[in-house]
Structure 1
Amino acid sequence: MIVDTIATVLGGVLLLRFWMQAIRVRPPASVAQFTFTLSDWLVKPLRRIVPGAGGYDWASLIGAFLVVLLATSILFIVGASAEQVLLLALGRFVKWIIYGFIALLIIEAIFSWVNPHAPLAPFVHALNDPLLRPIRKVVPPIGGLDLSVLVAVLLLQIALYLLRTVVPI
């Protein structure tokens, strides 16, 4: 449980770092300091092997996958083949990505209800915008109520369900 918790936090930070750089969002100073301090020890050496290309920080994404692979290897060390561990790690990696998006969407919904002018609200909105923009084109606001966050969470829940049917995680 401890290994899984540490791996989830570290993997989540690495995925956040990748996503911030992929969509070119400048994080608030506190978020940037936390993210980079927690992940630089892994990302900087990986950048020597896997440089960024196409505007993406591949070292952060590969680092997140290596963390989930290591955690999965430790959790399933007995009785699992390398192929099974790799498949489970890939499934858990996709699950982490989906849960990360769901968490960001829930945080945005809470900000919109409680304090839309909170200092982190524009940052969270910018992180969610690439997910919500296509949905907002299809689902217009109803009576001034934006249902795109709800639709996005439902679609991500469906993706999780489909993932569980393919890879038992």
Structure 2
Amino acid sequence: MSGYLTNPLVFVVNTAFELYILAVLLRFLLPLVRAEFHNPICQFIVKITHPPLRLLRRFIPAIGRVDTSALVLLLALKMLGDYVVFLLQGGGAVAVGALLGSALVDLVDLAFNVFIYAVLLQAILSWIRPDPYHPLYALLTDLVDPLLRPCRRLIPPLGGLDLSPLVALIALQVLKMLIVPPLQQLALLLAF
């Protein structure tokens, strides 16, 4: 395929895969944080992720509140997306271990980014006093409250200023720096 058409096609394919992977990741995270599923955004996420998950759940049971079928779907989608992009860019055969390692690292990184951006967005929205029943604000609150609760116990609000989002952001960044690089090294080992 010519270079002129390759870049736009890679962009479209990569964006489509990444958006759906984000939806499946949110579908995996929402039960873990006990999000309110009557939220219209949650309902949308459930509807677009239900068909493949319904099929996978026939063969892959959940372990407690952990939706293992969503984890399998996440890995499969990320591996497939990376492979399709690799093929569009003119690549040939690639080792399954390399795809698996790369997918695992990218998904862990994405999970950290979801929480980091959710904390940031909720902190910014809290400055403008949004409607607490707005679907987006309610979803953000459901996502970040499990992270902010321990931070609020550690550092209570000081003079009306809540520093718990700052503590949570620092903790998330430090954890990301400690977890992602060893996973990248493991992915390199799986590539061979």
Counterpart residue type for residue 140 of structure 2: V
Conserved 8 A contact 1:13-1:39: yes
Q: Which runs of 5+ in 2 are unaligned?
A: 1-10, 188-192
Could you tell which deviates more after superposition, 37-46 or 20-29? 20-29
Q: Please, which of 123, 144, 157 is the counterpart of residue 141 of structure 1?
A: 157
Q: Kindly state the Cα deviation for residue 47 of structure 1 after the two structures are TM-superposed.
A: 0.7
Residue 65 in structure 1 maps to residue 65 in structure 2: no
Aligned partner (choices 13, 16, 22) of residue 23 of structure 2: 13
Once structures 1 and 2 are overlaid, which stretch shifts more, 128-137 or 109-118?
Answer: 109-118
Structure with higher Rg: it is: 2
Equivalent positions of 1:67-146 (< 5 A) are 67-76=77-86, 78=91, 80-118=94-132, 119-120=134-135, 121-146=137-162
Query: CA offset at residue 163 of structure 1?
Result: 4.9
In the alignment, the residues of structure 1 paired with residue 37 and residue 140 of structure 2 have an alpha-carbon distance, to the nearest angstrom, of: 9
Q: Distance in 2 between matches of 1:115 and 1:48?
A: 44
Give the number of aligned pairs. 169
1:30 corresponds to which of 32, 40, 48:
40
How far 1:28 sits from its partner (Å)?
A: 4.1
Is the contact between residue 75 and residue 100 of structure 2 (CA under 8 Å) also seen in structure 1? no
Q: CA deviation at 1:160?
A: 3.5
Matched residues in 1 for 2:115 and 2:122: separation? 11
Cα deviation digits, residues 11-69 of structure 1 (max 9, x gap): 11111112212232223442133112211121110111112231332222322222112
Query: For 1:5 and 1:87, how far apart are their aligned partners in 2?
Result: 20
Question: Residue 80 of structure 2 aligns to which amino acid in structure 1?
Answer: L
Aligned counterpart in structure 1 of residue 168 of structure 2, from 152, 158, 167 = 152
Query: Percent identity over the alignment?
Result: 31
Post-superposition offset of 1:88: 0.9
Structure 1 position 143, deviation (Å): 2.4
- Say which structure, 1 or 2, has more relative contact order (CA 8 Å, 6+ apart): 2
Q: Aligned equivalents of 1:105 and 1:145: distance in 2?
A: 15
Give the partner amino acid of 1:51: P
* Matched AA of 1:94: V
